[in-house]
Amino acid sequence: SISDSGSPAAGAPGASGAPDLTPGELIGNFVGGADTAPSGDRRLPVRDPATGAQVREVGMSTADDVDAAVEVARAAQLEWAAMPLAARVAVMYDVRNAIRAHLDDLARLIVEENGKTLDDARGEVKRGLESIEYACGLPSNLKGDFSADVARGVDVHSTREPIGVAACITPFNFPVMVPLWMLANALSCGNAVLVKPSEKDPGATVMLAKILTEAGVPAGVLNVVNGDAVAVNALLEHPGVDAVSFVGSTPIARLVYEKGTAAGKRVQALGGAKNHLVVTASADHDAAAAAAVSAAYGAGGERCMAVSVLVAVGDEVADTMIDKIQSLAADVKVGPGLEDGMHFGPLITEQHRDKVAGYLAAGAEAGARIVVDGREHDRFGGEGYFIGPSLVDNVTTDMSVYTDEIFGPVLAVVRVDTVDDAMQLVRDNPFGNGAAIFTGSGAEARRFSTETNIGMIGVNVPIPVPVGWFSFGGWKSSLFGDSHMYGDDGVRFFTRQRVITTRW
Ligand code: NAD
């Protein structure tokens, strides 16, 4: 559904009998298994986007705070890595159960600080759990190779070993799922982790770290350092950090990749997106319209796999799709994430809401036709950072509504004449995260899947986020580095290989 990321995993919304893990008024760091206050006095407000009210503050770490946390992580990592595989597996299973038991606590905190709907927040935790479930298979994930008698009496075997301490720097839009994408494999492979969540909604990430520690991850193995660019730069420069896993916008991903690799670290940095949904004449247009509404407006478009461009092949398809989407959009309910029946909630900040509204104004100015205008929603301009769904027709590739990642509930329609034109549009776009085609033709689908330069493709599936045992990653400026997130690539990223040649 539009209000739920959807999950093949079964979930157990948990009434936890455990202690209240909700952060207090000041969110500090979580280092060595304990709450610690950042040493400086810089603080930022954390707001409930549905009301605009400040719910807590978050402390900004200094380079000294990062230094202290790295020291704790380095010491804890050695013992964690030395634990037998069976013991680490047992911890990962306990972690999996603890997250399920706290699913509702996590989801409610996500709603409070991020604004998404409760269903969507639950879906986020469940999708993150897939990465933990994959990581429970660590005995097979970490298996090496063996060749006997490569020369007379000589055997060769390989091992996968932890890289040490990993920094995980995450965006605001998935404060639980994205940290889980990273830390599941990082931890199971024997590394220690420092998570640096988004300063906009850090609470759920801190809660997650406490849940994992309570479930048996030893103190100091999983730490959270809160902060902004100061903390990120300290992590990127610190000689005690061996690897950096980043998810966020493309300009920051590029910067993190460049700085981190210049400092000799292994870096994977996933960036932004502009995901196209191509609809051809042979498609099921009702299914395509429902998919477009869900993928463009779900989570208010604040998903890196959100569809933001609908490419209609031929004017007849364009007119049909616009009619159908316009009528579905009229039923989309926008309101506080804890209220029943809402399809999506507010955007993350007031500035971001204004920026999204600005793209609509710029599009109209440049000659696009605003078919559905989110600024006309009755919650727009009131309490909370709400804006309704928008549909913009006759968008051309020179308009900012096309060129920029808007990260809001705005669907741009670009009209093309042929499937080849649609594929060329996708190929020419600088982003390469996801793309989908809705078609009734296997031949069209196959060409689209194999001849576009996109990391994740959906065929009659609008948001093709891979399940936890595949890997997630875009191409072009949607990813810097050479490994994708979670699954096999995640194991490779968080380990290094050793090859041992033996003669007795
Ligand atoms: P962002 O780039 O603003 O922030 C991401 C992280 O970088 C945060 O922890 C933030 O504190 C830090 N940061 C911000 N500015 C920095 C700077 N100048 N120097 C160092 N660190 C800095 O991203 P966001 O707004 O939190 O998240 C939305 C973006 O993330 C969108 O572009 C979205 O597409 C992208 N995203 C991508 C994926 C993916 O898998 N490719 C997934 C989720 C989100």
Q: Which of 245, 252, 454 to mutate to test the pocket of ligand 1 (most atoms within 8 A of CB)?
A: 252
| Nearest CA residue ID for atom 38, ligand 1 | 304
Pocket test of ligand 1: the residue of 131, 249, 255 to mutate, having most ligand atoms within 8 Å of its CB, is 249
Rounded-to-integer distance, Cα 189 and Cα 77, Å: 11
In 3D space, the residue among 373, 375, 365 whose CA is nearest the CA of residue 392 turns out to be 373
CB within 6 Å of ligand 1 — which residues? 169-174, 178, 196, 198-199, 228-229, 232, 247-249, 252, 270-273, 304, 405, 407, 433, 474, 478
Q: Which amino acid is at 157?
A: H
Rounded to the nearest angstrom, the distance between the alpha carbon of 420 and the centre of ligand 1 is 33
pTM above the 0.80 mark?
Answer: yes
CA distance 155 to 136: 30
Six token digits for residue 43: 């603080």
At 284 the three-state DSSP class reads coil
- pLDDT tens, the chain, 504 aa long: 455 544 433 333 344 455 679 999 999 999 999 999 999 999 999 999 999 999 999 999 999 999 999 999 999 999 999 999 999 999 999 999 999 999 999 999 999 999 999 999 999 999 999 999 999 999 999 999 999 999 999 999 999 999 999 999 999 999 999 999 999 999 999 999 999 999 999 999 999 999 999 999 999 999 999 999 999 999 999 999 999 999 999 999 999 999 999 999 999 999 999 999 999 999 999 999 999 999 999 999 999 999 999 999 999 999 999 999 999 999 999 999 999 999 999 999 999 999 999 999 999 999 999 999 999 999 999 999 999 999 999 999 999 999 999 999 999 999 999 999 999 999 999 999 999 999 999 999 999 999 999 999 999 999 899 999 999 999 999 999 999 999 999 999 999 999 999 999
Q: What pLDDT does 7 receive?
A: 40
The whole-number pLDDT of residue 394 equals 98
- Ligand 1 center to residue 302 CA distance, Å? 12
Among 228, 407, 431, 465, which is best to mutate for testing ligand 1, by the most ligand atoms less than 8 A from CB? Answer: 228
- Mapped onto helix, strand or coil, the DSSP state of residue 365 is helix
Cβ pair 216, 95 in contact under 8 A: yes
Question: Which string of b and e fits 432-464 if b means at least 16 CB within 10 Å?
Answer: bbbbbbbbeeeebbebbeeebebbbbbeeebbb
- Say how many Å lie between the CA of residue 173 and the centre of ligand 1: 9
Q: Which of 238, 245, 304 to mutate to test the pocket of ligand 1 (most atoms within 8 A of CB)?
A: 304
| Cα 396 to Cα 415: distance, rounded to the nearest angstrom | 8
pLDDT number for residue 12: 38
Give the Cα separation of 214 and 458 in Å (integer): 38
- pLDDT in the model for residue 15: 45
- For ligand 1, what atom is nearest to the CA of residue 249? 32
Q: Which residues pair with 154 in a beta bridge?
A: 151, 503
Q: How far apart are CA 397 and CA 409, in angstroms?
A: 19
Smallest Cα–Cα separation from 135: which of 487, 497, 496, 502?
Answer: 487
Asked if 371 and 322 touch (Cβ cutoff 8 Å), the reply is yes
Give the per-residue pLDDT at 100: 98
Read off φ and ψ for residue 305, nearest 5 degrees. Answer: -105, 10
Going from the Cα of 496 to the center of ligand 1, the distance in angstroms, rounded, reads 27
Q: Is the dihedral of CA 294, 297, 303, 304 positive or negative?
A: positive
Q: What is d(CA 15, CA 19) in angstroms, rounded to the nearest whole number?
A: 11
* 270 CA closest ligand 1 atom index: 41
The amino acid at 161 = E
* 503's tokens: 């003669």
Q: How far is the CA of 249 from the centre of ligand 1 (A)?
A: 4
> Residue 89: which of 184, 195, 229, 227 has the closest Cα?
184
Give yes or no for a contact between 112 and 175, defined as CB atoms under 8 angstroms apart: no
Strands 154-162 and 495-503: antiparallel
Residue type, 500: I
Give distance in angstroms: CA of 142 to centre of ligand 1: 30
Which atom of ligand 1 is found nearest the CA of 474? 41
Tokens at 348, concatenated: 């993350």
Residue nearest to atom 7 of ligand 1 (CA): 248
Using the atom order of ligand 1, give the atom closest to the CA of residue 227.
11
For the CA of 405, the nearest atom of ligand 1: 32
Take atom 13 of ligand 1 and give the residue whose Cα is closest. 229
Please give the number of the atom of ligand 1 that sits closest to the Cα of 248.
Answer: 30
Is the dihedral angle over the CA atoms 103, 109, 111, 113 positive or is it negative?
A: negative
Closest to 334 measured CA to CA, from 345, 350, 326, 325: 345
435 phi/psi in degrees, rounded to 5: -155, 150
**Among 183, 206, 156, 190, which Cα is nearest to 24's?**
206
Partnered with residue 412 across adjacent β-strands are 309, 392
Tokens describing residue 192: 């220690």
| pLDDT value, residue 120 | 98
User: Quick check: is 168 catalytic?
Assistant: no
Q: For every residue of 439-468, which 3-state class applies, written as one string?
A: CCCHHHHHHHHHHCCCCEEEECCCCCCCCC
